[in-house]
A and B are shown apart, each in its own frame.
Chain A
Amino acid sequence: MQNAILAGLLGGVACSLIGVFVVTMNLSFIGVAIAHAAFAGALCGAWLGFSPQAGAFIFSLAAVAVIGPLADRGEFNPDTPIGIIFSLTMGLAFLFMGLLPGPKTQALELLWGSILTVNNFDLVLLFIVAVIVLTLVMLFFKEIQAVIFHREAALAVGIPANLIFYSMLFLTGSVITASLRSIGGLLIFNLILNPAAAAYQLTYSLRIMFILSASFGILSTWLGLLISYLFNTPSGATIVLVSTVIFIIAAAFSPKRKVKKWKNELESALKN
């Protein structure tokens, strides 16, 4: 249980910090595609008999390498190539699952996650990734802020905006890889998206958004673990459901909704 609490802390922080990029830069679909590529890679690793984490890392990097430039070219809506990669990785994942000999326990663990059985290697990996993400956010906050606001404007002022953008995608792949065993391939992306989306509802400050997102990430994993322990429910699914409830509460009490409401009132008054 100690390992699970620690994994919850590290995974919660890493996933939710990465989530801030994903939410503010509208990369949700890209993130889902990377998550599923990592899942397919992990199953490929398991099938071929090497580390699932190594497979997940290679596949997520490959997904970033393909999706990033396709999204950049502007040749056609990036949703189309991302959708194709998404379906390809899902197909590969189930193919590798089918090819895995014997019982599918490992595959199901990768699919649903098993935070209660994380080992020391998983914890060290999570720790390294969480520290890297936290350090990079602190060191390059101003560059990240500029890229989030407008990539072309950031490039124009002399910021290496493309490097920052691709680093974000690379970090997303790394965080997903490190969290795959504890949270699960199908659920990991919700833990990336939900805490950051909840934080987005509550503040106009990017700095506070990072802090809120990390807090919601930790709260989701710890509360999810507690509920899972008390009611004997699957831990990964419970964590994700808790993070969704946090988002719903944040959205309900969002001060930004008041702005929208005020605008709606103004528009209806003008119509009348």
Chain B
Amino acid sequence: MITIKNAVVSYREDVALRGVSLSVKKGELVGIIGPNGAGKTTILTLVNGLGKLLKGQVQVLGCMLNNGCPAYLRRRIGYVPQIHNIDPRMPVNAGEVVMMGRYGRLGLLRRPGILDRQVVESLLSLVGMSHLATRPIGHLSGGEQQRVAIARALAQEPDILLLDEPTTGLDRRARVEIMALVNEIHRTRNLTTLMVTHELKTASAICNRLVLMKEGRIWSQGKPEDVLQEEVLDLLYGDDNKVANYF
């Protein structure tokens, strides 16, 4: 489904990825964890073609992405980026944001039809946001905005779902709810999911595999119970912190 070989990505002087190789099979839920600046988000942007590859190869859904990701392929990859500080006066409501997920499929010059509206309504219901569909997006709480973002990504009817720290800035209850929602969506919709997260405990419960990253390299990967060892995490995050802090 996703194959990354020796990927090197650089932003000016900073090297974000240093020869990363990763394969993700169809139906897997892979969690990517690691300290800030490890290159976790960059991996996601390589998969949906928004990141620029300096060296290496990226193959997604059978298509080589060395020269960027064509629009028709991006439509099959749902992406939930980190979006913070949405202007409360933004003239867009929650329902419209979810509908944006349909726009790529619709193509230029075509307007959303009855089917698109039905899809949006069912997704708003799935993420528990039907009652807030007409609320301006900037008026929603962080957790509600994340639910809308997930619904927008699902509106694409994607094969692959990419989530970039979907629980950042949320309280404990919202974090648990969002992770449960991700798990449910992944299982029921037969998706291949890549999720960058700092939720080690929940990630270890729902992910098939965890990829540990540090300084642009894959530090370790495997089943959660195998990689989430105290000594591994101490090395990953630094000796000053103990594994108990991560859970």
Contacts and interface: CB of A to CB of B under 8 A. Distances in A.
Interface residues of B, number: 37
A270 interface: no
Which of A150, A152, A154, A256 lies at the interface centre, i.e. has the most chain B CB atoms within 10 A of its CB? A150
Interface string A146-174: 10111011111111100000000000000
B104 interface: yes
B89 A145 contact: no
Contacts of A267: none
Interface string B92-128: 1100110111011110110110000000000000000
A159 B92 contact: no
B90 A24 contact: yes
A155 B78 CA distance: 11
A42 interface: no
Interface residues of A, number: 31
A143 interface: yes
Interface stretch (A11-19, A84-92, A198-206): A198-206
Contacts of B72: 158
A209 interface: yes
Interface in B139-160: 139, 149, 152, 156
A157 B88 contact: no
Given A149-B97, A155-B50, A259 B103 contact: no
A142 interface: yes
Given A200-B91, A206-B91, A149 B105 contact: no
Given A146-B100, A156-B81, A203 B156 contact: no
Contacts of B105: 158
Contacts of A75: 12
B83 to A, nearest CB: 6
Interface string A188-225: 00000000000011011110110000000000000000
A230 interface: no
Contacts of B91: 24, 200, 203-206, 208-209
B137 interface: yes
Given A150-B83, A153-B152, A156-B79, A259 B90 contact: no
A158 B152 CA distance: 13
A251 to B, nearest CB: 11
A142 B74 contact: no
Interface in B3-53: 12, 48, 50
Contact of A156 (B77, B88, B112): B77
B89 A256 contact: yes
Nearest to A205: B91
B225 to A, nearest CB: 33
Contacts of A150: 81, 83
Which of B83, B93, B108 lies at the interface centre, i.e. has the most chain A CB atoms within 10 A of its CB? B108
B176 interface: no
B198 interface: no
B91 to A, nearest CB: 4
A156 B83 CA distance: 13
Interface in A1-51: 24
B47 to A, nearest CB: 11
Contact of B74 (A140, A149, A158, A201): A158
Nearest to B96: A145
A204 B89 CA distance: 7
B209 interface: no
20 contacts: A75-B12, A142-B106, A143-B103, A146-B103, A149-B92, A149-B100, A153-B79, A153-B83, A153-B149, A153-B152, A157-B79, A157-B101, A158-B105, A158-B156, A159-B71, A160-B71, A205-B93, A206-B96, A208-B91, A259-B139
Interface of B: 12, 48, 50, 71-72, 74-75, 77-79, 81, 83, 88-93, 96-97, 99-101, 103-106, 108-109, 111-112, 136-137, 139, 149, 152, 156
Q: Which 5 A-B pairs have the closest CB atoms?
A: A158-B104, A156-B79, A158-B75, A157-B104, A158-B71
Given A140-B108, A156-B79, 18 more contacts: A139-B109, A140-B109, A145-B96, A145-B100, A148-B92, A149-B90, A149-B97, A152-B50, A153-B100, A155-B50, A156-B77, A158-B75, A158-B103, A201-B89, A205-B93, A206-B92, A209-B91, A260-B88
